[in-house]
Chains A and B, each alone.
Chain A
């Protein structure tokens, strides 16, 4: 199974901050990686697919990058509605595996 190591597990940030979340795959997954945002009690929402493609309707401040084993999700300027938990997901091979999540909290 491919392990997805996501870091940090939690972070505090202020509105306007640049935030970077990292996912590391235990083996190469080319660009079979997606990022999701989940708010408490809500359904996960896809932000990024194919490592760097922005989901339609998602603000351009969300930027995905990476290839192979190292991936990042950057929020260029954190907005109040961005406080949530973020997950990466690899779909290069089965079983699909999620990262452990990163909770972004208000500083």
Chain B
């Protein structure tokens, strides 16, 4: 069965960076792009960007340009999202979710369990 398992909760100080992992299983990792979505406490869902594990190609929301890095390691079917220069506004639950490569309508059918990142001094 398809599973996306994320790394555990993090507490970071303002200005620091955080790296969240998302390990995929149950499907061909390179057949799907991995997207990242975050949700601040009590707020809605916000799309951050995606990575194509096949070629490392990425696309980020402008809001995160220059501050986010997305990578993947196909040997262990794991995607990573690193966010730098954290502020309290980055306190949120971060989700990974898969999207079938090549376009179409098959997106976000499976999500990771979420990783709470708390930014506090």
Binding site for B on A (CB under 8 A): 31-32, 34, 36, 38, 43-44, 46, 49-50, 53, 55, 87, 89, 91, 94-101
Q: Which chain A residues lie closer than 8 Å to B62 at the CB level?
A: 95
Q: CA–CA, A44 to B95, complex, Å?
A: 10
With A43-B114, A97-B47, A98-B47 as contacts: A32 and B61 at CB distance below 8 Å? no
Q: CA–CA, A100 to B59, complex, Å?
A: 22
Find out whether the CB atom of A49 lies under 8 angstroms from the CB atom of B44.
Answer: no
How many B residues touch A, CB cutoff 8 Å? 19
Find out whether the CB atom of B45 lies under 8 angstroms from the CB atom of A98.
Answer: yes
Find out whether the CB atom of B107 lies under 8 angstroms from the CB atom of A49.
Answer: yes
Find out whether the CB atom of B44 lies under 8 angstroms from the CB atom of A101.
Answer: yes
Find out whether the CB atom of B47 lies under 8 angstroms from the CB atom of A95.
Answer: yes
Q: Which chain B residues lie closer than 8 Å to A96 at the CB level?
A: 35, 47
Find out whether the CB atom of A44 lies under 8 angstroms from the CB atom of B47.
Answer: no
**How far is the CB of B79 from the nearest CB of chain A, in Å?**
16
Find out whether the CB atom of B35 lies under 8 angstroms from the CB atom of A87.
Answer: no
Give the nearest-CB partner of B62 in chain A. A95
Give the nearest-CB partner of A90 in chain B. B47
Asked whether any CB of chain A lies closer than 8 Å to the CB of B46, the reply is: yes
Find out whether the CB atom of A98 lies under 8 angstroms from the CB atom of B46.
Answer: yes
